[in-house]
Amino acid sequence: MVNIPKTRRTYCKGKTCKKHTPHKVTQYKKGKDSTVAQGKRRYDRKQSGYGGQTKPVFHKKAKTTKKVVLRLECTVCKYKMQMALKRCKHFELGGDKKTKGAALTFFMNQLLMLVQYRSRTLSIPRAFTLSNLTTNEILD
């Protein structure tokens, strides 16, 4: 998973800036297709009436992901530019940062829960359960 912050300090090519400034980051989205474009008008005219599908429909899709494109807007001069990232299946904008040792804490909590569950099912005396121990005491 790729997690990008909502603000980024990078070089601005705008006429007034030409230096590193903070930029607002958004994800690029494709605009709505125009109904008056020449190709669309030609296609609609050919499709009208009887005769079914007139143009080939593409089915041999090879890629499973798309490249993520970021839209950067300078907060000083409002100059907008785009930056392409590498391919990724999961993209997140402005999500929570990973905390150090979060996976270890999660593992220890799961271990404690398992030990408590086993002690209940095996009817081990209360003195031998790990419910009153901390994660540091278990590791020692």
Q: Which pLDDT tens digit goes with each residue over 6-24?
A: 999 999 999 999 999 999 9
Whether residue 78 lies inside any domain: the answer is yes
- Please state the pTM of the whole predicted model: 0.65
Domain that holds residue 89: 1-33+64-95
Same domain, 18 and 71: yes
Task: Count Cβ atoms below 10 Å from residue 85 Cβ, excluding itself.
Answer: 13
Same domain, 132 and 71: no
pLDDT computed for residue 10 by the predictor: 97
Same domain, 108 and 89: no
The per-residue pLDDT for range 68-83, each reduced to its tens digit, is: 999 999 999 999 999 9
Region label for 137, one of left (φ > 0), alpha (ψ between -120 and 50) or beta (otherwise): alpha
